[in-house]
Amino acid sequence: MPDGFVHSVKVPRLYKTAAKVVQSVKEEGASLKELVYKGNHPNVNAIYALARETLQKELRLDYVLRKTQILFKEPRLDPWLARILITELFRKSVKPSECKPIKTILAYEKELREAYDGFQESEAASSENSKVQKPRYVRVNTLLSTAKEVITSFINEGWQCLSRKGNYSSFLESVSNLEDDTFLQDIHIPEVLIFPHGTKFHDHLAYRQGFIMLQDKASCFSTHLLRPEPGSVVLDMCAAPGLKTTHLAAQMNNQGKIYAVEMDEKRFNTLRETIQASMATCVEAIHADAMTVNADRCPNVEYILVDPSCSGSGMVDRVDSMYSSTECPPHRLKSLQAFQVLLLRHALFNFPSVKKVVYSTCSLYPQENEEVIDEILGDIGETYTLLPVRSQLNDNWLNYSSLEYKCKDNCMYARPKVDLCNGFFVAVFERNFDIPLPEYNRKPKVLKKESEECNEYLEPPSDKMESADSEPCKPKKMKKKKKHQSAEESANIPAEDALDEVIIIEEVPKKKHKKSKRQKTEVEENTEQEINKSTNESVNEGEALPEKPVKKKKKKKHAKKHLD
């Protein structure tokens, strides 16, 4: 089989368009009919029929992809196009073509047909309306113990540790088949252990003593890929509740310095409790707005983790509703994106000693992922390189960013239905010290309250919160939206069931000019320009409003009476 695709022959437009439609429906909650019939596509009936059938056979197609491991064997094959072509293969057969994706599907036709026919309809009936049930992940706190010691401890309790398989698709099969008394050591992050869905640890001695942390595998990837060396200086810009911060401290073996920043007082207290419980002594918690933190306050920073507030569309407990068109409105995604770009740009341009910056979200929306990275790529020039995550994971992964964006497939996705963990996105930037940092131009507005992190939740020892590590925080009651808001401000209006996150931008107060009718008439006739100048200065420093021409009243005699 070929190692990669060179698209000398284009994919037929029908298949390419249908694949984009299905992707938009599943990832963005778009309407199938609206996408097809309002998109001015040729042959809309054929596109609609093919996309509709692909969506209807979602469970069967997921099974076929897992069983044949075709996406792993052919990493350049687009997963959405693969679904379309497999559907077409069993509808009326795909016509032979020199197009690489079609040739690949036809080369695997026998395996695909066996998997397709072997799928039991009863499986679809039993799981059609169920949520994605990810296993229970725990992270060994290597500041207090080793993975080997903790594994031995679980074995002594009666658990059976299954052997790991080198192939990721085979490993996923083992994860999905975990039984009540079995567990696995993760294939990517050795300090992560995987237990059957529903396993309880809140009352377990290892959890209460801090030897294990209840943290999803997906949220470990950002720190795993940042991987600062012992003795380094690290900045965690959105640190609460502290699971990623303490993971960084464990990677560094408490040698070096970690600045953990959190603005919200309640979450800051949670951050300090997590740090103390994990014995992460190299961490300095900072109660401040991340946008005010720079190289003067946190000197010699070499590694930065940027994990900002997001829609939380990747959280497993919300997978059953994440495709609803009302889940995260476009205007809110746009506002979140504006804040995310602002924070990432601040990290990249304000720390001259930084070697590596990782950006991550628990979102599956490209607006918060690829589009953010693309905008940043237009700013950084050659001062940073976007590292290909594929090589950092030894090509032992399935889901990457879309080739349709400037970032190509250099970033990684964790997708719940495929990777059996929370949805996540990670991008890694590496500094090129041969090129000086460009001048940083920040918007004149000042952040008042930093966004709360939505990617993970520190679970309290309570049976009522058994699934809290995968559940979003409850949204706080927000004040009524003001008439004039910045992009960052509107991001703080949560959608229904949105995660607990607050992004508040301090508005520059406008001066109220209380004038009598007599004074206003004098202004209109004599001092309009002076008042305009004063108003300009009070609205925003350095941004003057254009002067309005003086409107002369038709009845001049009436004005003269007042002047007299």
Point out the residues that are catalytic. 362
- Cα separations in angstroms, 110 against 64, 65, 307: 12, 13, 44
Give the residues across from 357 on adjacent strands. 304, 429
Asked if residues 81 and 87 have their Cβ atoms less than 8 Å apart, the reply is: no
Rounded CA separation 468/529 (Å): 59
Using a 10 angstrom Cβ sphere, with 0-12 exposed, 13-18 middle and 19 or more buried, the burial of residue 423 is buried
DSSP 8-state assignment for residue 400: B
- Cα separations in angstroms, 321 against 330, 360, 479: 16, 22, 26
Sign of the C-alpha dihedral, residues 18, 23, 24, 30?
Answer: positive
The tokens for 524 are: 């209109």
Asked if residues 400 and 411 have their Cβ atoms less than 8 Å apart, the reply is: yes
Give the residues across from 182 on adjacent strands. 160
∠ CA 95-101-102, nearest 5°, is: 10
Radius of gyration of the chain, Cα coordinates, nearest whole angstrom: 27
Helices within 128-285 (DSSP H only): 147-156, 168-176, 205-208, 217-226, 243-251, 265-278
Rounded CA separation 161/150 (Å): 11
Q: Which of 67, 120, 115 lies closest to 89 in space, CA to CA?
A: 115
- Cα separations in angstroms, 187 against 136, 233, 393, 397: 15, 28, 10, 10
Q: Which of 445, 439, 440, 405 lies closest to 425 in space, CA to CA?
A: 405
Q: Which of 531, 525, 468, 526 lies closest to 500 in space, CA to CA?
A: 468
Asked if residues 22 and 54 have their Cβ atoms less than 8 Å apart, the reply is: yes
